[in-house]
A = this chain, B = another copy of it.
Amino acid sequence: MIVAMQEGAEPEQIQRVIDRLVTMGFEVHRSTGERQTVLGAVGARADFDIRDVEVMPGVQEVHRISAPYKLAGKSFRPEGTVVRLKHGITLGASQVPVAAGPCSVESRDQLMRAAEAVSRAGAKLLRGGAFKPRSSPYSFQGLGEEALKLLREAGDKLGMAVVSEVMAISQIPLMSAYVDVLQVGARNMQNFDLLRELGKVRKPVLLKRGIAATLEELLLSAEYIMAGGNYEVILCERGIRTFETYTRNTLDISAIPIIHKLSHLPIVADPSHGTGRRDKVAPMARAAVAAGADGLLIEVHPDPDHALSDGAQSLYPEQFAKLMDEMRLIAPAVGRSVA
């Protein structure tokens, strides 16, 4: 932590800040310039609130020096993390696997048709929602365990890994029995109780960025999972809230190269939620691959016009197949391959 005192800060004010820093467990280096005094506080503690110093009299500003995350930081594994799933699927290596499927699992028929279509087009993971708490109490709320069974069955039949969202601690055991990757939704990115429990699980976790979360906060949430011993975390960019209203969210493609600089964890993109509109999914999926994404999450429905949820952002199977072809052409430009 670096503390810059105000010009004209009084000696007692400076001393009080030094005392406080020492009490907090820091070793303090003082450098007195012509105009102002700057204090460098070095120490092992990562868990402190810099505002405690910021509000002290005589303090101009405070900067945290070391990143508040350690396990999620690049230096922890400079070579990068590769998450390995069944069927030889990897995230973080040269493959760029695509997870596709419907927003919600609605029926056996719907899921099988979706799964076959996306598998045929080259998707390696099958995605689908089992629990869908919705903004209206009258909307479809998901098939629950039945959905998980169908996902598992389809995945096994087609040689795909399965990913689905876990929304509560109580669902972890049930979901772990069926899925290969546990997804944490944007709204739960800072549900620390849930993250803590996922740290104890031995399954990869796909952690979505909250719509108002900075990348530092995303990495802090990853850190929370990793602190529990589960190092298999896949980050996911799915759009942030900005002043632009044409799309639901603004898919922040720059998150991909930034995360690659700050962290060793793989990062995937979700252009379906990131744009909220079918006609914007393909361009943004291509952009994500070109920017170096380690994977993609794309909603595909056999009949989007009759989807029970998020039909407007679901691709038709033929649109998805065309998009896969385009992404296959792009990936080699960044030394990667889309299967």
A interface residue numbers (CB < 8 A to B): 2, 4, 6-8, 20, 29, 31, 33-36, 38, 40, 42, 44, 46-47, 49, 51-52, 54-55, 60-61, 63, 65-67, 73-75, 78, 133-139, 167-168, 187, 190-193, 196, 210-212, 214-216, 220, 224, 227-228, 240-247, 250-254, 256-258, 261, 274-280, 283-284, 286-292, 305, 309-313, 326-327, 329-330, 332-334
| Known contacts A40-B31, A250-B250; A8/B54 CB under 8 A | no
Q: Is the CB of A65 within 8 A of B2?
A: yes
Q: Is the CB of B257 within 8 A of A283?
A: yes
Contacts of A60 in B (CB 8 A): 67
- Candidates B277, B327, B334; contact of A54 at CB < 8 Å: B277
Contacts of A61 in B (CB 8 A): 65
- Candidates B20, B247, B278; contact of A258 at CB < 8 Å: B247
Contacts of A29 in B (CB 8 A): 31
A59 to chain B, nearest CB (A): 11
A87 to chain B, nearest CB (A): 26
Q: Is the CB of B4 within 8 A of A36?
A: no
What is the bound-complex CA distance between A193 and B188, given in angstroms?
A: 13
Return the chain B residue nearest A244 by Cβ.
B214
Return the chain B residue nearest A138 by Cβ.
B47
